[in-house]
Structure 1
Amino acid sequence: MENGERVELSRGLSLTHLMMMGMGMMIGAGVFVATGIAIGFAGPGGILVAFALNGLIAFFSAMSFAELASALPTAGGAYTYIDEAFKGLIGFISGWMNWFALTVAGSLYAITFATYTVFLLEGTSWFTNLNLEHELVIKLLALAIALVFVAINYIGVSETGSIENLITLGQMGTLAFIGLFSIYYIFVHPEKLAHFNDFVPNGWDKVLMAMGFTYVGFEGYEVIAHAGEEAVNPKETVPKAILYSVVAVTATYILFAFAAIVGAEPGNVPLTEWFAELGPVGMGEAIKDLMPYGGLLITLAAIFSSTSALNATIYSSTRVLFAISRDGRLPSFFSRIHPVRRVPHYALFASSLIILSVALIFPIEDVAASADIVFLLIFLLVNAAVIRIRNERGDELDYGFQMPYFPYIPLLAILFQAVLSLWVFNVSPTAWAITLTWVAIGLIVYKSYRGARVERFKSEREKVFEEEVEAGARYRIVVAVSNERTAPVLVRYAERIAKQVNGELFVISVVTVPEQTPLEEARQFADGARKVLRVARESVSGDVRVEGIIYYSHSVYRGIMSAVRDKRADLLILGWEGRSRWSKYVLGSNLDRIVRDAPCNVIVIKPGETERKEKVERILFPTRGGRNASKAAELVGLLAESYGANVTVLTVSEAKMNLDAVLQRIPNARLEVRGGNVIEGILRECQKHDLLIMGATREPLFRRLIFGEVPEKVASKCRKTVLLVKINRGIRARINRLVGRRE
């Protein structure tokens, strides 16, 4: 916003433009070298099945990208989405791997350019007469073309969108023409179908190897998400462009592979062995046999594709490294801009160094396999991110597209991508060694480079006050406060528990700004939060350690969950004003999700008439027993000991309950058994007591309920202060939430 005017990017990219971007990135150099190699171990039928199944898996992941792009159209790229969902170590490693994946892909494209250039030159007599070592020439050409495009990126020559579109149309048109010609060719030479007689000669496990090895040809559509801010009607056009481009490219690949198989002239050598011997240039030789000038046609397509993709990956890898540095996760010099060229020159140099090193040192099979592994792992994390973002933020985001059969589609994609990435080991153990080494380096960088992470967090939180006490493992209680009236109530209960367990308090308040507003801008709205924290501080007696922290976030949910994770909370305490009769939520849209997802025990406090009394003398704890009830009873016992209060354990049921575990955790508790209506019975007993504490119950029919029907109805009607306790059930609870089950 400048001088009262909103500044936005021009939205001029149509559905066609976006599809051109996606297909142009997908049809890079990988398909020209990887397809022939894959036929060499998977066979003619195996490669067609591999491309079809890869297209399906890519379509699953494309739906994840489409959903995320429609909900967050101003954000783009795998790193952004993964970091949005997980942050911390996973967010950093995703960016670290994304950078590496792009640089390795750049090496693959440089080698592909060199391989097919030599393939073209081999047909000339002057090149043959030079009697040069082909591998040496390929390495030198790869180095040369990479340096050319590094120089282009350094000089800052802008890409011309119309030229890029023409190259994409040329790529698609060439491959589609070759594929369609092969269909005509098969009518003229039906005997060529005999090449499919040995459909999968080496077993179906080789199909999995081919899928993993050729998956690099199915990445690239994610670039469409980068253009969310410049797309016309992004919530509709971006998802469509992503899905349509995957379908179009998959069909093109299948046709292209079919053309190579029917066009090949292996002589007396089995087809699979023929492709295995030729390796990276197998596709070129097969298309040369298929049609007049086929070798020239496929070579030019490979050269144009590889140079276009090489330029794009150098540009993209540089920007990813720049973004990680700008986020404060790597040294700041990587995000410096050259004063004259206006490019991130240090990031460009680092990316170029990896591209050149990998291209010079490793064979093309290892380079391609490394790119496959890293892209598979990144897409796996994106599918995990879409599940987490939908579960945690689904109510607050405006989706233009939501995938069907959620979460089963991303879960299937995660499973397949994990299997394929592991299966690539059979193609190239070296590729896995490279990948693991890179991840290990990333872990070392993440652990050692602490200064940058601290700097990043300065914009996300602000410490208002702190009382230092002796160090050591302590029970940690996070109290979330939002208004001056209820803050003292929540803090007083938290302090009583902390005193009993030698714990410490973290009183937090969340200040939010919209998604499109940087978190740094939230500081100007923090005066109210600072005042609430000071009021909360004044209500603490001073016998426990207390910190007051403001969290800046794009939602209350994320702010509180960040605090719980940062402080490794054992207990989270929240306030509840009571249920609105018109709301579809029990506690509120944010509180419902926080209570459901918090990785710790939770107490929700609804203040009532109890707060007018000077002392709590009688506590009511209704329960029907069970493992969670006995754990909740421990908190009841702590508060009873703190107040010196008597506890009544109440069960309203005709059936006999075993409450021994509950009574053992509350010394001197009195057991009362009542019959009749449960809710009415508890409310009657509430009138004789000062404080009501209830635990969560399991009621599968009420999926939207957090604690269960009885506790929530009683809490809404009871006039005394009510504490609703939810015990954390760990990994089992997370699995249940993932598949939509009630805990």
Structure 2
Amino acid sequence: MGATHARDDDAEEARVSAPSVRSQLFRRKPVVDMVEETGAGRPEGGALARRMGVGQLMGLGIGATIGTGIFFVLTSAVPEAGPAVIVSFVLAAITAGFTALCYAELASTIPVAGSSYSYAYATLGEVVAYVVGWCLVLEYAVSSAAVSVGWSEYLNELLDDTIGLRIPDALSFAPGAGGVVNLPAIVLVTLCALLLVRGASESARANAVMVVLKIVVLLFFAAVAFTAFEAGNLSPFAPLGAAGVGAAASSIFFSFIGLDAVSTAGEEVRDPRRTLPRAIIGSLIVVTTVYLLVAVAAVGAQAAGLFEGQEAGLAVILENVTGSRWPAIVLAAGAVISIFSVTLVTMYGQTRILFAMSRDGMVPSLFSRVDPRTLTPVRGTVAVALFVGALAGFVPLDFLVDLTSMGTLVAFLVVSVGVMVLRSTRPDLPRGFRVPGYPVVPVLSVLFCLYLLYGLPPVTWGLFALWLTLAAVLYVTYARTHSRLRDPR
């Protein structure tokens, strides 16, 4: 009888202490715990090594951004917006600018790996963080695959111009784009994975060299293209009106993924509360300047009707402008180097997102196991390379570009909301940077993100809904019960 009463008492105690479904879904991870488990407050702590400074971090941001779109996105954006694609770039840059300020504040307040996933976990709760994490996984994987496909196009252009050789279409295009498998894209993903396995600082140094080369090449393109600038090419300026401009801006936005890539390195930079904001804002300024120069030069040098379906478009423009092949060869070589660095950094970002999620129990521990010699998540990097390689080899480019924009915009929107939530719930936290014009700037960032999301095509929304459905299933069946916060005590 006594044993029965004891069991009843235990059951009653369990019912009383068991957290509600709502409290499980929206439990937050304390910022102090996040910082402590990274070793940010003690030089000897943390699983990842803090070795990067402002220069290397800006290199990551610029490396992940310049090249992601500008070398090949004009072929799809100009047919939508016409010469008004310049306005589309401005819209995307303004949205990215508002969001960059929000990123700078959260990155200086929560200097950990995981970017907007970690920020959402601290401000909006576990289920929101999990959805954001899945958006980031989609964003980085698809972005890596998309630029790998673009790299394949420029590699073919370079081989054709230098030695008169082209990789057969069957081996350089995905099914649905006229081929069987995009082999060069898979090779690129493999090379990036090998470099990432060697170490973050080694990857950052290699990326810094490639960033300098890509900026020089794009400035070279602008200088040459401006010599053929014709005002007549800008008319009609916006043939499809505001709708076309908005649709192009939505597609272009994936070109600004580098802002998020900077914050994924929160556990591998020195003095993160000062370094992260400077690197984020500095990257945005450089990237926006280069993008606008190239866009204006390109639409001024070539009629809008010629952009559609143009493979390795910037190289073709140079060849048409100069009547010579050597400028196109220089541009194609620069693109091959440039896009290599983009793939490198976006794959790096994805491994760090999964690292943070794995440490919280949201995904298997495979992704947070760090090699004791290189201090990098080797197994997680290999898993990412396999997934990205499959996308790059077998999925056409158009689907990849819009899906990347979707994931990026959702992540940026959550960061902007997170700034407002954290200001309200934890005004006492030390902040290395504060958003100027608060709360107007975060609100404008949210509104611009929503506008660009509205401009994405229905098929992208459908694919994104399928992705979120998969995320919901995995959260219920795995993450909710493996979460490190599952014990209410």
Could you tell me which of 377, 398, 422 is aligned with 1:365? Answer: 398
Q: Which residue of 2 aligns with 1:402?
A: 434
Q: Which residue of 1 aligns with 2:12?
A: none
Work out whether 1:163 is the aligned partner of 2:196: no
Q: Which residue of 2 aligns with 1:411?
A: 443
Q: Which residue of 2 aligns with 1:143?
A: 186
- Give the Å deviation of 1:211: 0.5
SS in 1 for 2:241: coil
- Alignment of structure 1 residues 206-285 onto 2, 5 Å: 206-228=244-266, 234-264=272-302, 271-278=303-310, 280-285=311-316
Amino acid aligned to 1:449: Y
- Give the Å deviation of 1:160: 4.7
Amino acid aligned to 1:392: T
CA offset digits 1:196-220 (Å, max 9, x no partner) = 1211112221111110111111121
8 Å contact 1:146–1:356 — kept in the other structure?
A: yes
Q: Which residue of 2 aligns with 1:103?
A: 141
8 Å contact 2:54–2:278 — kept in the other structure?
A: yes
CA offset digits 1:217-254 (Å, max 9, x no partner) = 11212333345566565444432332232122111101
Amino acid aligned to 1:219: I
CA offset digits 1:381-416 (Å, max 9, x no partner) = 11111111111112x112232122222211221122
Could you tell me which of 86, 90, 114 is aligned with 2:152? Answer: 114
Amino acid aligned to 2:241: G
- Alignment of structure 1 residues 622-701 onto 2, 5 Å: none
SS in 1 for 2:236: coil
User: For the structure 1 residues 421 and 347, does the alpha-carbon distance in structure 2 shift closer, same or farther, using more than 3 Å as the test?
Assistant: same
Q: Could you list the runs of 5+ residues in structure 2 that have no partner in the other structure?
A: 1-35, 174-178
SS in 2 for 1:276: coil
Q: Which residue of 2 aligns with 1:193?
A: 231
SS in 1 for 2:307: helix
TM-score normalised by length of structure 1: 0.55
User: For the structure 1 residues 72 and 315, does the alpha-carbon distance in structure 2 shift closer, same or farther, using more than 3 Å as the test?
Assistant: closer
1 CA distance for matches of 2:206 and 2:370? 27
Q: Which residue of 2 aligns with 1:330?
A: 363
Q: Which residue of 2 aligns with 1:374?
A: 407
2 CA distance for matches of 1:375 and 1:129? 32
Could you tell me which of 73, 93, 100 is aligned with 1:34? Answer: 73
8 Å contact 1:263–1:289 — kept in the other structure?
A: no
2 CA distance for matches of 1:263 and 1:402? 42
8 Å contact 1:39–1:275 — kept in the other structure?
A: yes
User: For the structure 1 residues 348 and 452, does the alpha-carbon distance in structure 2 shift closer, same or farther, using more than 3 Å as the test?
Assistant: farther
1 CA distance for matches of 2:432 and 2:373? 41
Amino acid aligned to 1:275: F
Amino acid aligned to 1:419: Y
Q: Which residue of 2 aligns with 1:7?
A: 44
User: For the structure 1 residues 161 and 244, does the alpha-carbon distance in structure 2 shift closer, same or farther, using more than 3 Å as the test?
Assistant: closer
Q: Which residue of 1 aligns with 2:61?
A: 22
Q: Which residue of 2 aligns with 1:686?
A: none
- Give the Å deviation of 1:42: 0.9
SS in 2 for 1:39: helix
8 Å contact 2:139–2:404 — kept in the other structure?
A: yes
- Give the Å deviation of 1:134: 5.5
Q: Could you list the runs of 5+ residues in structure 1 that have no partner in the other structure?
A: 265-270, 463-743
Amino acid aligned to 2:456: V
8 Å contact 2:195–2:203 — kept in the other structure?
A: no
Amino acid aligned to 2:477: S
- Alignment of structure 1 residues 730-741 onto 2, 5 Å: none
Q: Which residue of 2 aligns with 1:289?
A: 320
- Give the Å deviation of 1:361: 2.9
Q: Which residue of 2 aligns with 1:321?
A: 354
Q: Which residue of 1 aligns with 2:5?
A: none
CA offset digits 1:605-651 (Å, max 9, x no partner) = xxxxxxxxxxxxxxxxxxxxxxxxxxxxxxxxxxxxxxxxxxxxxxx
Work out whether 1:177 is the aligned partner of 2:206: no
- Give the Å deviation of 1:38: 0.5
CA offset digits 1:649-692 (Å, max 9, x no partner) = xxxxxxxxxxxxxxxxxxxxxxxxxxxxxxxxxxxxxxxxxxxx
Amino acid aligned to 1:35: L
2 CA distance for matches of 1:138 and 1:14? 39
CA offset digits 1:272-312 (Å, max 9, x no partner) = 3211132x522331233234533112212221122112222
8 Å contact 1:36–1:283 — kept in the other structure?
A: no
Amino acid aligned to 1:281: A
Backbone CA RMSD of aligned residues: 3.0
User: For the structure 1 residues 211 and 346, does the alpha-carbon distance in structure 2 shift closer, same or farther, using more than 3 Å as the test?
Assistant: same
2 CA distance for matches of 1:73 and 1:348? 22
User: For the structure 1 residues 337 and 162, does the alpha-carbon distance in structure 2 shift closer, same or farther, using more than 3 Å as the test?
Assistant: closer
User: For the structure 1 residues 326 and 72, does the alpha-carbon distance in structure 2 shift closer, same or farther, using more than 3 Å as the test?
Assistant: closer
Q: Which residue of 1 aligns with 2:93?
A: 55
Q: Which residue of 1 aligns with 2:470?
A: 441
2 CA distance for matches of 1:118 and 1:235? 43
8 Å contact 1:12–1:231 — kept in the other structure?
A: yes
Amino acid aligned to 1:195: N
- Give the Å deviation of 1:118: 1.3
2 CA distance for matches of 1:282 and 1:343? 37
1 CA distance for matches of 2:363 and 2:50? 32
1 CA distance for matches of 2:432 and 2:180? 50
SS in 1 for 2:155: helix
1 CA distance for matches of 2:441 and 2:462? 30
SS in 2 for 1:424: coil
1 CA distance for matches of 2:237 and 2:339? 30
- Give the Å deviation of 1:171: 1.4
8 Å contact 1:331–1:452 — kept in the other structure?
A: no
TM-score normalised by length of structure 2: 0.81
- Give the Å deviation of 1:352: 2.6
Work out whether 1:354 is the aligned partner of 2:394: no
8 Å contact 1:69–1:239 — kept in the other structure?
A: yes
SS in 2 for 1:118: helix
8 Å contact 1:334–1:347 — kept in the other structure?
A: yes
Work out whether 1:70 is the aligned partner of 2:103: no
CA offset digits 1:239-271 (Å, max 9, x no partner) = 23322321221111011112222333xxxxxx2
Amino acid aligned to 2:210: I
User: For the structure 1 residues 214 and 336, does the alpha-carbon distance in structure 2 shift closer, same or farther, using more than 3 Å as the test?
Assistant: same
Q: Which residue of 1 aligns with 2:453?
A: 421
- Give the Å deviation of 1:11: 7.3
2 CA distance for matches of 1:233 and 1:152? 25
Structure with greater contact order relative to length (CA < 8 Å, sep ≥ 6):
2
SS in 2 for 1:33: coil
8 Å contact 2:147–2:342 — kept in the other structure?
A: yes
1 CA distance for matches of 2:318 and 2:367? 44
CA offset digits 1:349-386 (Å, max 9, x no partner) = 44233212322332111111111111111111111111
1 CA distance for matches of 2:61 and 2:414? 20
Number of residue equivalences: 441
8 Å contact 2:87–2:245 — kept in the other structure?
A: yes
User: For the structure 1 residues 24 and 404, does the alpha-carbon distance in structure 2 shift closer, same or farther, using more than 3 Å as the test?
Assistant: same
Identity %: 27
